[in-house]
Structure 1
Amino acid sequence: MKTIIAATNFSEVSNHAVAFAADVAKTIKARLIIFNVIGLVPAMSDARLPLEACDATIEESDKLLKELFSKIKARVNNEIEVKILYKVGSVISELNALCQREKPFAIFIAAQFVTAFERFILGTYAVSIAKYSAFPVVVVPLSATMTGFKKMAIAIDFKLDSSVEWRFLRNWLKLFHPQVDIVYVTSDTTAPANKAAMTINVNAQLKGFGLRYYFLTNDNVVDGIKEYIVENKPDLLIMLVNKHRFFHKSVTKPFIEAPSVPVLFLSSKFKSNVMSSAFERPGPATDTSK
């Protein structure tokens, strides 16, 4: 059984990401883990929180998590398994530990995290989660509505497409049967002339998915992708993030912090062979203890 992890800090945007993840989980019959981390060390500080403040925060988190659990169970009409889990500690380490145990199909987080208790927020770590996770990360804007992912766009560098995790992409696409747009942005005005040669491997890897190609000339990759989104309105954008290849951090960051559509990130640490359990075997029982 596939597992989806949805992280929340109980802000409007993060709870919306959880609801969006629930809709996806219902669509593909996956189980959903709603996850919250209470940080003992406020962001940008080495000072630990007083024990009284920790206790109050744990109690409030427990209450909010149970309320969110009830709303999500009603949203999915009890058609899928929903678990809740919170941990006290480091956001990055606790989320990584959970992912290593569960081998999730995807992690869903909000595009922005803003709460009255900013020192506790998960959003401080959103960029790191999306760019360095060993598992797929979907960043969800507040405006997003799950309509079945009927159209997906894959932003790719054809010069390096041999490094793409094609196996995962094929498995992901098979679940939704979307129209697939391949988007290539370059400042080289001669690139479109070479498009036939550039598409050979992509056609072979994604045969049967009804591919459409968009070769866009723009000196700014971010602007080029944004223009494509405005004109074509995909339900999901897929970006492949690599430390030395594909998109530099200056390109991916705007799509993490302020995406106009949901964006699926595959980082340089992601390897599709660790995802076999997400597609082939039931996942382990989830610890719902506090």
Structure 2
Amino acid sequence: MKKIIAPVDFSDTAANAAIFAGNLAEFYGAELWLYHSYEVVVPVTEYGYSYVSITEMQQAAEHELAEFKNRVQNALRRTITIQIKAENATLVDGLSALCDELDPALVVMGLSGKNALTRLVVGSNTIRTIHNLDYPVLVVPPKATFIPIRKIGFACDYKKVIETTPVHLLKKIMHDFNAELHVLNVEYIKGTAPATKVEESMYITELLHELKPTYQTILSADITNGINWFADKEKIDLMVVIPKKHHLVEKMFSRSQTKELLYHTHVPVLCIRE
């Protein structure tokens, strides 16, 4: 059985992402794992003892996680298999170890919050996970509700596509969802494409030939606006991006963007490592 992992911090953002993951698991016949990591801060009294023991923290975390599991299950139409795990670890280290153990099809996370501080903390955790986890991470915006995934968009910059495109994983994702693939390239300046970009577009066409995708290049001064416009126009259910340091994912997740993609779209974004 395929497995989906949803990291949980008990926020509304995490609940929305976990319920999305639960619907995804229900629809595609997968098992859902709810994972919570915590780090024990040990304030030492004058007597040399901490206020809260690791055992107490573990028990409290497991209790909250069990309650959270019920919340997720009650939001679904049918009963699914939901496993829970809580442990004393950093999010990235603990999640990486669990992924290596379970080999999940997806890790599903949220990205937002009710205030600037929550957005900063939750957002930084998600971005850190994207850059350090060797598994696909599906980022669920706060307004996203689950629908069967029929159309998948792939944002491609046509740069070093042979070296950076995880073709095998992309094909597996398309096979699992049995969806249409729409490849999007966003250009900033109108004009003739350089020879290198033409060559790279030929490479990606060959790499993805068996998936029979459609290809579009659009002009947009802002990549998030361009992707949002494309997703709405083509009724895309999920966008795929390949995180590249200081490039596409940095622009997409930067809080300085006027309209940040993940804070202003209903379309989930699947990040897969190059």
**TM-score normalised to the size of structure 2?**
0.80
For the structure 1 residues 40 and 257, does the alpha-carbon distance in structure 2 shift closer, same or farther, using more than 3 Å as the test? farther
Give the equivalent residue in structure 1 for 2:139: 139
Query: For residues 268 and 66 of structure 2, what CA distance do their matches in structure 1 show?
Result: 26
Q: Secondary structure at the match of 1:32?
A: strand
Q: Over residues 181-223 of structure 1, what are the superposed CA-to-partner deviations in whole Å (9 max), with x where a residue is unaligned?
A: 1110122423569887654333333335442222012233233
| Matching residue's letter, 1:25 | A
Query: For residues 147 and 44 of structure 2, what CA distance do their matches in structure 1 show?
Result: 43
> In the alignment, is the contact (CA less than 8 A) between 1:9 and 1:113 conserved in 2?
no
Structure 1 residues not aligned, in runs of 5+:
269-290
| Matching residue's letter, 2:30 | A
Matches within 5 A, 1:171-186: 171-186=172-187
Instruction: Point out the more displaced range, 228-237 or 18-27.
Output: 228-237
Structure 2 residues not aligned, in runs of 5+:
255-259
Shift of 1:34: 0.5
> In the alignment, is the contact (CA less than 8 A) between 2:184 and 2:215 conserved in 1?
yes
Matches within 5 A, 1:1-290: 1-41=1-41, 50-52=50-52, 58-74=58-74, 75=76, 77-78=78-79, 80-113=80-113, 124-162=124-162, 163-191=164-192, 199-243=201-245, 247=248, 249-253=250-254, 254-255=260-261, 259-268=265-274
RMSD value, Cα: 3.2
> In the alignment, is the contact (CA less than 8 A) between 1:14 and 1:112 conserved in 2?
no
Q: Secondary structure at the match of 1:52?
A: coil
For the structure 1 residues 48 and 156, does the alpha-carbon distance in structure 2 shift closer, same or farther, using more than 3 Å as the test? farther
| Matching residue's letter, 1:214 | Q
Query: For residues 150 and 263 of structure 2, what CA distance do their matches in structure 1 show?
Result: 24
For the structure 1 residues 266 and 13, does the alpha-carbon distance in structure 2 shift closer, same or farther, using more than 3 Å as the test? same
> In the alignment, is the contact (CA less than 8 A) between 1:186 and 1:218 conserved in 2?
yes
For the structure 1 residues 191 and 59, does the alpha-carbon distance in structure 2 shift closer, same or farther, using more than 3 Å as the test? farther
> In the alignment, is the contact (CA less than 8 A) between 1:130 and 1:137 conserved in 2?
yes
Instruction: Point out the more displaced range, 226-235 or 150-159.
Output: 226-235
| Matching residue's letter, 1:138 | L
Instruction: Point out the more displaced range, 22-31 or 248-257.
Output: 248-257
> In the alignment, is the contact (CA less than 8 A) between 1:238 and 1:265 conserved in 2?
yes
Quick one: percent identity of the two aligned structures?
20
Query: For residues 257 and 37 of structure 1, what CA distance do their matches in structure 2 show?
Result: 24
| Matching residue's letter, 2:93 | S
> In the alignment, is the contact (CA less than 8 A) between 1:134 and 1:267 conserved in 2?
yes
Q: Secondary structure at the match of 2:6?
A: strand
> In the alignment, is the contact (CA less than 8 A) between 2:166 and 2:273 conserved in 1?
no
For the structure 1 residues 179 and 215, does the alpha-carbon distance in structure 2 shift closer, same or farther, using more than 3 Å as the test? same
For the structure 1 residues 21 and 113, does the alpha-carbon distance in structure 2 shift closer, same or farther, using more than 3 Å as the test? same
> In the alignment, is the contact (CA less than 8 A) between 2:6 and 2:32 conserved in 1?
yes
Shift of 1:60: 4.0
Shift of 1:101: 1.8
> In the alignment, is the contact (CA less than 8 A) between 1:177 and 1:209 conserved in 2?
no
> In the alignment, is the contact (CA less than 8 A) between 2:243 and 2:271 conserved in 1?
yes
> In the alignment, is the contact (CA less than 8 A) between 1:150 and 1:235 conserved in 2?
yes
Query: For residues 164 and 259 of structure 1, what CA distance do their matches in structure 2 show?
Result: 25
Q: Over residues 19-65 of structure 1, what are the superposed CA-to-partner deviations in whole Å (9 max), with x where a residue is unaligned?
A: 11111122222221110112224xxxx97895338666544432221
> In the alignment, is the contact (CA less than 8 A) between 1:4 and 1:106 conserved in 2?
yes
Shift of 1:100: 2.0
Q: Secondary structure at the match of 2:52?
A: helix
Q: Over residues 64-83 of structure 1, what are the superposed CA-to-partner deviations in whole Å (9 max), with x where a residue is unaligned?
A: 211222344452633x4321
| Matching residue's letter, 1:34 | L
Shift of 1:165: 0.4
Q: Over residues 82-126 of structure 1, what are the superposed CA-to-partner deviations in whole Å (9 max), with x where a residue is unaligned?
A: 2100112322221122122222211111112569x97xx765412
Give the equivalent residue in structure 1 for 2:257: none
> In the alignment, is the contact (CA less than 8 A) between 2:62 and 2:85 conserved in 1?
no
For the structure 1 residues 70 and 228, does the alpha-carbon distance in structure 2 shift closer, same or farther, using more than 3 Å as the test? same
Shift of 1:151: 1.2
